Chains A and B, each alone.
Chain A
């Protein structure tokens, strides 16, 4: 799965509020994927397939299912559980969540709440290639196939593929001809290598 992608589960019965959430999230230009669920049970089922970074939940959805909620939350402690509040709820109920988000929150406040999850993904975005990635890039530009690179560098073909993916993530360049230009302009390989 794409590391930079952030999965957000939403349980919110109102269409208008849900649309509002997705519009607001879109403004942040992050790789947010929204999944909408009707109730806790639906969300629970899908946690077996999908990993969620954040769950934004209307507290009314857990009101009569407190035990289920606490169990689910404990089972997925890496998820940030946020209560979405636009009417009155008991404090005891709200304390079951990691955090709360008021429907009146400003864009800046929302950004900071979500900032807690953004940081972890930021690391993979650094542009500098590692030494190993540079070695793989050099062989790629020479025109070697994954298998040949694996043999030459004494690594498995899976490692080659994962290096390739990281190179593309870091540089934003996917095609071989694009990578060749990247390698030449960054003086990783001399001009005569693959540039014909």
Chain B
């Protein structure tokens, strides 16, 4: 798990100061489609300009800074479509940015030394990536549309094959394999030389792990309970 001693984000803090303190907040901005040139603007100003729900931004930003919201804060979140947009953007980031980047590092490592160990790692990574893609597709084709429909209609009968528990298990799987990969490289497999490539690979892996951690917290601990609330609320019409 990540551990940080960062600022607790409030509406009047300047975004630039926060990014200087915790550069991983750039990922947050990117997932919210906020330009990195934040000038001297405060968090609240940025949210107004980019039409982003402030409460959602604060909760997510604080997750990146290592603070988990309490139950009331989660229940007070109303703008589920902003949450979904954020999650979809992070999916795009994993699929088209992060994983291809990691993959290309592995290919380069392999090109430089044709060892069995690298081949194995590459294989492990490719299988893992397949699994991740499958999960992201599942979310995009089943989970998100279901939730969007739910918001539109207020309430619908639970009918499609969406299961919250199964969904959570996927996340555990994805995180377990990522940790395994990290431990294999840090503790067990020594690759000769190639410091620079391996460093880039590891840094990239840590960045992915960090973002995925926040991502599954958002889905499991925030989105699902909020959806659960709509599902059981009596329909008003």
Say whether A173 faces chain B, with CB atoms less than 8 Å apart. yes
- B120 and A174 contact, CB distance less than 8 A: no
Stretch from B83-91, B93-101, B176-184, B210-218 that touches the partner: B176-184
Interface residue count for B (Cβ, 8 Å)? 21
A184 pairs with B120, CB closer than 8 A: yes
Contacts A26-B3, A173-B184, A186-B188 given; does A178 touch B116 at CB 8 Å = no
Q: Are B187 and A177 in contact (CB under 8 A)?
A: no
Q: Tell me the A166-189 residues at the B interface (CB within 8 Å).
A: 171-175, 177-178, 181-182, 184-186
Which among B120, B173, B176, B187 is the interface contact of A171 at CB below 8 angstroms?
Answer: B187
Given known A23-B5, A171-B188, A175-B177, contact A181–B183 (CB-CB < 8 A): no
Beta-carbon contact of A174 and B123 below 8 Å: no
Report yes or no: A172 in contact with B187, Cβ–Cβ below 8 A: yes
Q: How far is the CA of A181 from the CA of B124 in the complex (A)?
A: 8
Instruction: Given A181-B121, A182-B188, check contact A174 B116 (CB 8 Å).
Output: no
Q: Which of B173, B176, B179, B187 contacts A127 (CB 8 A)?
A: B187
Residue of B at shortest CB range from A182? B188
Provide the residues of chain B in CB contact with A182, threshold 8 Å: 184, 188
* B68 vs chain A, min Cβ distance (A): 14
Q: Is the CB of B120 within 8 A of A173?
A: no
Q: Judging by beta carbons under 8 Å apart, are B179 and A177 in contact?
A: no
Interface flag for B142 (CB, 8 Å): no
Q: Which residue of B lies closest to A174 (CB)?
A: B176
Most chain B CB atoms below 10 A, which of A127, A172, A195 = A172
Contacts of A171 in B (CB 8 A): 183, 187-188
A-contact 0/1 string along B1-24, CB 8 Å cutoff: 001010000000000000000000
Q: Measured between C-beta atoms, what is the minimum distance from B85 to chain A in Å? A: 32
- The interface residues of chain B lying within 8 Å CB-to-CB of A191 are 116
Q: How far is the CA of A54 from the CA of B121 in the complex (A)?
A: 41
Whether A174 contacts B180 in the complex (CB less than 8 A), given A26-B3, A191-B116, comes out as yes
Q: Mark A7-51, 1 if CB is under 8 A from B, else 0.
A: 000000000000000010010010000000000000000000000
Q: In the complex the two chains form, what is the Cα distance from A172 to B189 in whole Å?
A: 13
Residues of A within 8 A of B187 (CB): 127, 171-172
B175-211: which have CB < 8 Å to A? Answer: 176-177, 179-181, 183-184, 187-189
Q: How distant is B178 from chain A, measured CB to nearest CB, in Å?
A: 10
Cβ contact within 8 Å between A178 and B124: yes
B183:A173 contact, CB within 8 angstroms:
yes
Would B3 and A172 count as touching, CB distance under 8 A? no
Query: Which 10 pairs, one residue from A and one from B, show the smallest C-beta to C-beta distance?
Result: A178-B180, A172-B183, A173-B180, A181-B120, A174-B176, A175-B177, A175-B180, A185-B117, A185-B189, A175-B176
Listed by A's residue number, 27 A-B pairs whose Cβ atoms lie within 8 Å are: A26-B5, A127-B187, A171-B183, A171-B187, A171-B188, A172-B179, A172-B183, A173-B180, A175-B173, A175-B176, A175-B177, A175-B180, A177-B124, A177-B127, A177-B128, A178-B124, A178-B177, A178-B181, A178-B184, A181-B124, A181-B184, A181-B189, A182-B188, A184-B116, A185-B120, A186-B188, A195-B123
**Given known contacts A171-B187, A178-B183, A182-B184, what 15 new A-B pairs fall within 8 Å (CB)?**
A171-B183, A171-B188, A172-B183, A173-B180, A173-B184, A173-B188, A174-B176, A175-B180, A178-B124, A178-B177, A185-B116, A185-B188, A186-B188, A195-B120, A195-B123
